[in-house]
A and B are shown apart, each in its own frame.
Chain A
């Protein structure tokens, strides 16, 4: 397979022009069958590499195959009774494209010349007295400029970030009382059921600290639970 550097071609028309030049083909008498085969080889190569770009090439490949088929059929005739070359549209497109490709080289030449000069800049340092001009409402501004500027301003507008801190009123003493109350009623209490239904992290933490505190004071006991990751809180008689 003929290997070609991918970014060498700007598109399917560019690639076709390359084939035409390389094989010294007559642009007005393109051997469709040969060029279609070459084109498909190339498309298969780029399909593996870059599907997005390949889309345009595949479209051209199908156009080429369509032309190839039409070449085999009896020629269609136009109003004047002249035969229509199925390739004529493609040739037109190629020439049109070639025209602008040439112009882009002219532009490239102008670009190189222009890069050699610099315009006067740094105007902000200039001394100036600007008289106010209230008469000009819109100068060199189109509706699209306004819309663009408005969109830009809106895009820049970041939503204000607000951090809210909720104070949870909870104390260790409260939780101690709460636990003692529950243990009093139930004798045995699973830790997970104790914290079940507590929404705030802080409440669970404080409850846990309260548990530790109670254990230290010897007011409750703690024993292993049969369930994984849980423990049982016991009432200790006589405090």
Chain B
């Protein structure tokens, strides 16, 4: 593949407000220069890698990142302080514990109805769901076929962007509790491990929370 497309790809990503995928990039190139241009998804990826290397060598303040099923230009983390000083958007409050918890459940269980979500959390979640809908982190994806046809919720591309994920399968894997439960031979042993982990986690939370208070 010609290196000239390197600049084209750079321009396409640079001008894209939402993450732009490899196929979209290829479509744009073929749409202008003809279908016979030979360019593959791998070519695009190589180009982007090369661009990133170039940016790094030149010590530029930005790079191309892989996020939400596509590519976007973003600043490097070391400039966060300065950008945050000026930009009101980034200085916004972080998501609350309740919001993160709800998002975690929706992300792993999607599509999920509100009653299902509430039965896991054990609390009413109307307010949280509305907040997340407003922030566009979740969306209504349809209706369940179960009684009452409740609305189904799922995560959005905005969710992927917010957490810096390329696709949903990049989410960290939850520990499979069912498996631990089923395995009776090692249950005793695993109980200990589980307890330790829970203790550690809760301890971490406690210290985290006391930090927050400060």
List chain A positions with a Cβ less than 8 A from chain B: 8, 10-14, 17-18, 20-21, 24, 26-28, 53, 55-56, 60, 92-93, 95-108, 110-120, 123, 126, 128, 142, 144
Contact = CB atoms under 8 A, between A and B. Distances in A.
Interface stretch (B1-9, B38-46, B51-59, B100-108): B100-108
A17 B101 contact: no
The A interface, classified by DSSP as helix, strand, loop or mixed, is: helix
Interface residues of B, number: 58
8 contacts: A21-B203, A103-B107, A106-B104, A113-B77, A114-B161, A115-B80, A119-B161, A128-B15
A18 B202 contact: yes
B72 A116 contact: no
Nearest to A128: B15
Nearest to A91: B181
B104 A107 contact: yes
Given A26-B195, A100-B105, A118 B202 contact: no
Contact of A117 (B80, B95, B121): B80
Contacts of A53: 123
Contacts of A60: 122
B148 interface: no
B122 A114 contact: no
A123 B17 contact: yes
A117 B74 contact: yes
B163 interface: yes
B65 A105 contact: no
Interface in B54-98: 62, 65, 72-77, 80, 83, 87, 90, 94-95, 97-98
Contact of B122 (A13, A113, A126): A13
Contacts of A113: 77, 164
B172 interface: yes
Nearest to B80: A116
B121 A10 contact: yes
Interface string B179-208: 001000001000100110011011111000
